[in-house]
Structures are given as C-alpha cells and as structure tokens.
Amino acid sequence: MSLFDYTIKELEEKIHNKEVTVQDLVDTSYKRIKEVDGQVHAFLTLNEESAREEAKKLDAAADQTASLFGMPAGIKDNIVTKALRTTCASQFLDNFDDPLYNATVVDKLASQQAVTIGKLNMDEFAMGSSNENSSYTPTRNPWNTDYVPGGSSGGSAASVAAGEVLFSLGSDTGGSIRQPAAFCGVVGLKPTYGRVSRFGLVAFASSLDQIGPITRNVEDNARVLEVIAGIDPMDSTSANVDVPKYTEALTGDVKGLKIAVPKEYLAEGVAPEVKESVLQALKVYESLGATWEEVSLPHSKYAVATYYLLSSSEASANLARFDGVRYGVRSENADNMIDMFKKSRSEGFGEEVKRRIMLGTFALSSGYYDAYYKKAQKVRTLIKNDFDKIFEDYDVVIGPTTPTPAFKVGEKIDDPLTMYANDILTIPVNLAGVPGISLPCGFSEEGLPFGLQIIGKHFDESTVYRAAHAYEQATDHHKKRPQLGGAN
C-alpha cells in the first residue's frame, strides 16, 4: 500500500505522530515516478533537488500546522513556477527554464507548505482533449496505457491516478480538468470563474480558463481549494467573495437536495454503460434522501460551436505575444524581422495550436466578426441563462462528465471534429462560469473509469462538494486503483 492511499488529513496525523516524515512522502513520490512514469509520461520536468531540500527544512520546522504541510503536489506546465521550467508542453517555450515569478496558486500552496514535485504534461497550450497534442510525448492512461488520459490536464490527472503525487493542479477551459479526471478515475473540480486567481496561468481563453485541484477523493479536493481560492490583486477577474471552509460541507447529508438531470446529457451519443452508471448514481442519491427530475438545457446543443469560436478567438489574441522576440524559441532560418515572426510561430507551434489560431483570427476578422464572434457571445448568454433558470428550482445539475470512457491513443487524433465533440458535456459549464466536479461513478467492461459530473450555482462549491462527498461515501469506486507497476 502506498502512503498516497491515505487522505491529506490522515497523512497530517502520521506526520504529527512522527510515524512518517515529509522526506518519506517526497521519497515515495520520486520512487513511484521512477517506477511508472516511463509508462505514463505524466511529468515533463522534475523539481527533485529543491523538493528534497524543502522536505528537510519542513521536517526540522517547529511549526508543522500548515494545512498542506509536506504534501507532494504536481503542477500543470502552463502554471508559471519561479526558476522551474515552464513549457506549456510546446516547443515554442522549450527554453523557458527560469520564469521570474510564481503563479498566485503556486505561492498559495507554498504558503501552506506543500512540496512541488514537478511540472506535468498537457496538450500544447491547453488545446486538446487527449494529451496527444503535447509536443514532447503523449501521456498515457494509468488504467490501460493503450488509452488516452484525457486533456488538456492529462498529466495532472494521470499523476494522481498513478500514485505519483498526492494532488495536482490543472486548468479547465472547456473540460480540461473534469474530462481527464473522469478518464483517469480521480476527482477534479473546475471552480466558479473568478474563484481562483489566474495570475501566472499562461492564457488560452481568458474568459473561460480556471485553475482547479485534482485529487483521489473529495475531501482532499475541498482542502486544496480552500488554499488556492480567493481574491488576488494581481488578477482583476478574481472575485471578492468569501472563501468558505469547504470541508465543513462534507456532512454526508443530502436529504432534501434537489437534483436536475438534463435530458440532453443522457441523449444520443452517450454510451449506454455511461448512461446506466449515471442512473445508478441517481438511485444512490434517492436512497440518501435527495430527489431528482428531468429538465432541459435547450441551448446546450450549440455549446461546442460557441466554445470553439470564442476560445479560438481569445487564443488568437493571447498567443500573439509568442513571436520569437521577447522569450521562447526564435527561428534561426529567418532573413528579416517579418520572416522571423512567421517562421518562429510556424516552427514553434504544433498543428492543433495553429488550427485554433487560424480559426480565431478568421472569426475576429473584418466582415466576419458579427457573423461569428458576436453571435457566439449571444449564444453564450443563452446557455448561461439556461443554467440560471434551472438553479431557481434546483440545487445541483447532475449528468455524465463525458459521453464515453477513454478512447485509444491515436483513435481520434486525425479527426478534430470528433475530438472536439468529446467535450460536449463539460463545455457548457465553462461558458456559464459555474462550478463543476467530476468523480468516479463506475467502470466499463474494459475496466476504464466513468465520471459523474455535478454542477452547481455560481460560487456554491460547498453544495457541489456536499453532493459529491455523500455519493463518494456511499460507493467504493474511488477506492479502486489501476494496477500499474504493482500496488500503488
């Protein structure tokens, strides 16, 4: 059994009782990485020397009461870490070895004395749903390495599922925390937009991006969000709202909870075994005293088209800064400045990133702006209004996280439209700005996990966690582990 089969709270007690040290936890993490990361490829950069030094300092510290004291964490590689290589899994930033500052979330983890183990693989610039768009190597699913782990936070989910770290941070623009959490059988939360600072997150689509935690259980997830949430003067989009003690919401009591189940989330395209796992989950809620009714999110069918227009437009603007001048890899084959811009970008960006930049540039161009970008913004409002209307009468919305379990590596990479459609159940949450969590709710015949998605009202992560925790405690899906490199 691994130390990481324990919760953060249980490991805190072990450290307090001198049963384990922070150095033991860090050793466990690096030992596990050496055992299995050759199969999983979750990490792009390790922070081993600094992490071991930090572990020694923490073991010698008089005060060991910080809420994440000594806990080994992985950071998605689009979250900036001072003096630790940050590439966004792109060749364009292959030489970005020494960022000058930390993202706010990294400083917040450090303030509670978590230990950064390393930087995690992802789809390049967070653009992808399978982690196959990493310009280094695809991450593999720990449950079966022939399958994808999901994306873009594939490394973040796989590292937790494989027992390499206790928790990780990912980013979610259209499902990039929840979808890989579902595929890898772990717990991933996309907080309300503005709940967590985006300062230091390399921007993909600024009105959609949100950082969130990935863990093995709901309680740990709530504990990490308590640390990273809150207003930040460095991020004008972070919200000035109180951060509750989320762990206090984990009572197990959901009597009277009113659940909405959108008929569109269980419609054609959702695999029968996924649909059945959600219906079984609803029976569990009934047994716990909650009630559910079928509802409609009528504009959700437009979500994928709306998302790809808006996110690609924002990406076109955000990625304009990567020009080979100020930082990043510069083309050595250019004859003049304009040529250098063009060649640096064409050589530095991968195919998927270039595809989305071109789509976004087209949508924003003169003569097409009103027809595409402006219209997409109007549809986004309709999608948000659908959620607002449902939340007048219900506490949470529940459905599957993804239409299917994980697919095989290489199966969809040459079919972008099919790949994009895989995010159909997660994208509306980002467009509306509401919180959503994915947690394990069953397994396919091939032994691949399914995810249950629970969506809440703006800034009501407490209810989302309460509903997720009650289901988790009533089932044992979260206790199962992939058999990767032996017991973990």
C-alpha span between 229 and 226 (Å, rounded): 6
Q: Are 462 and 249 in contact (CB under 8 A)?
A: yes
Question: What does the block give as tokens for 286?
Answer: 């009934």
3-state secondary structure of 259: strand
The amino acid sitting at 162 is A
Q: Are 98 and 50 in contact (CB under 8 A)?
A: no
Buried b / exposed e over 32-42, threshold 16 CB at 10 Å, is bbebbbeebbb
pLDDT of residue 334: 84
Helix axes 104-111, 218-228, angle to 10 degrees: 110
> What's the distance, Cα to Cα, between the start and end of the chain in Å?
6
pLDDT of residue 485: 59
pLDDT of residue 3: 72
C-alpha span between 393 and 179 (Å, rounded): 27
Q: What share of the chain is helix, strand, coil (3-state, %, to 5)?
A: 45, 15, 40
Rg (C-alpha) for the chain, rounded Å, is 21
Provide the 8-state DSSP code for 422: T
Beta strand 72-76 with 167-172 is: parallel
Torsions phi, psi for 286 (to 5 deg): -60, -40
Contacts of 222 (CB under 8 A, 6+ apart): 246, 247, 249, 250, 465, 469
Provide the 8-state DSSP code for 32: H
**391: closest CA among 208, 262, 244?**
262
Q: Are 148 and 184 in contact (CB under 8 A)?
A: no
C-alpha span between 102 and 205 (Å, rounded): 20
**259: closest CA among 403, 464, 101?**
464
pLDDT of residue 1: 52
C-alpha span between 368 and 374 (Å, rounded): 9
- DSSP H/E element including 172: strand 167-172
C-alpha span between 316 and 363 (Å, rounded): 10
C-alpha span between 402 and 165 (Å, rounded): 25
3-state secondary structure of 423: coil
* Total Cβ atoms within 10 A of residue 278: 22
C-alpha span between 450 and 468 (Å, rounded): 14
Q: pTM score, two decimals?
A: 0.96
Q: Write out pLDDT tens, residues 196-250.
A: 999 999 999 999 999 999 999 999 999 999 999 999 999 999 999 999 999 999 9
Q: Write out pLDDT tens, residues 364-403.
A: 998 889 889 999 999 999 999 999 999 999 999 999 999 9
C-alpha span between 56 and 43 (Å, rounded): 23
Query: What does the pLDDT profile of the chain (488 residues) look like in tens digits?
Result: 587 789 999 999 999 999 999 999 999 999 999 999 999 999 999 999 999 999 999 999 999 999 999 999 999 999 999 999 999 999 999 999 999 999 999 999 999 999 999 999 999 999 999 999 999 999 999 999 999 999 899 999 999 999 999 999 999 999 999 999 999 999 999 999 999 999 999 999 999 999 999 999 999 999 999 999 999 999 999 999 999 999 999 999 999 999 999 999 998 889 999 999 999 999 999 999 999 999 999 999 999 999 999 999 999 999 999 988 887 888 888 888 888 888 888 888 999 999 999 999 999 998 889 889 999 999 999 999 999 999 999 999 999 999 999 999 998 877 776 777 778 999 999 999 999 999 999 999 999 999 999 999 999 999 999 999 999 999 999 999 998 854 44
Residue recorded with tokens 């015949």:
445
Buried b / exposed e over 339-362, threshold 16 CB at 10 Å, is ebbebbbebbbbebbeebbebbbb
Provide the 8-state DSSP code for 353: H
Residue recorded with tokens 């986004």:
380
**334: closest CA among 350, 346, 322?**
346
**213: closest CA among 196, 234, 232, 194?**
196
Q: Which residues make beta-bridge pairs with 189? A: 437
Question: What does the block give as tokens for 10?
Answer: 């249980």
Active site residues: 76, 152, 176
